[in-house]
Structures are given as structure tokens and as C-alpha cells.
Amino acid sequence: MKGKFKTKNNAVSYYDRHNPHMRSLNAHNTYCSDWDPNTKLLYIVRNDYLINSTIDCFAIQDNPMDEIMNGVGMTEWNWLK
């Protein structure tokens, strides 16, 4: 997912709020969701190892903003909760 979180608990809170039809992201103390029957996706909380994120956040306005300044591409991240 394109979103970034400061803590695992913030990630759990964000996931649970946007997926009321699913069990909590941390229901089994693994920080791993069940497979979503609607999207066929599974979410895992992990450290960011600079992997290209391709899945949009649950709310489009939560996605990072890409912009170009003086010919240099930059991404502005907002920490999600």
C-alpha cells in the first residue's frame, strides 16, 4: 500500500476503520489480515524497504502527492493513523 504509518497500531487502526467487514488486522497478533473476499488482497504490516508501492490507500486522498520541483521529482508523504 502507498500509505506510511509511524506505528503498527496506526496501521491497524487505519485498516480496521476502512474494512469493517473484516476481522481486525491484528486479530491473531501477527499484523496480517485475512484475505479480503471483495478485493482478493491480504495486508501485512512490515518495515519499508523501499519497495515500489502500487496499491492505493483505502481513501484516495491518503495517497502520497507526487510533484516536480526544479526538474526533480519528489513525493510528499503524510503519516496515516
> Distances from the Cα of 34 to the Cαs of 5, 17, 40, 65, 73, in angstroms?
20, 15, 10, 29, 36
pTM of the entire predicted model: 0.86
Q: Give the amino acid at 81.
A: K
* pLDDT averaged over 10-residue windows placed end to end, the chain, 81 residues: 94 97 96 95 91 90 85 84 92
User: Which residues, other chains included, contact 3 with Cβ-Cβ below 8 Å and sequence gap of 6+?
Assistant: 14, 57, 62, 63, 80
User: For the chain, first and last CA: distance in Å?
Assistant: 14
Q: Under DSSP, is residue 64 helix (H, G, I), strand (E, B) or coil? A: coil
Pairing assessment for the beta strands 79-80 and 72-76 based on DSSP bridges: unpaired
pLDDT at 39: 93
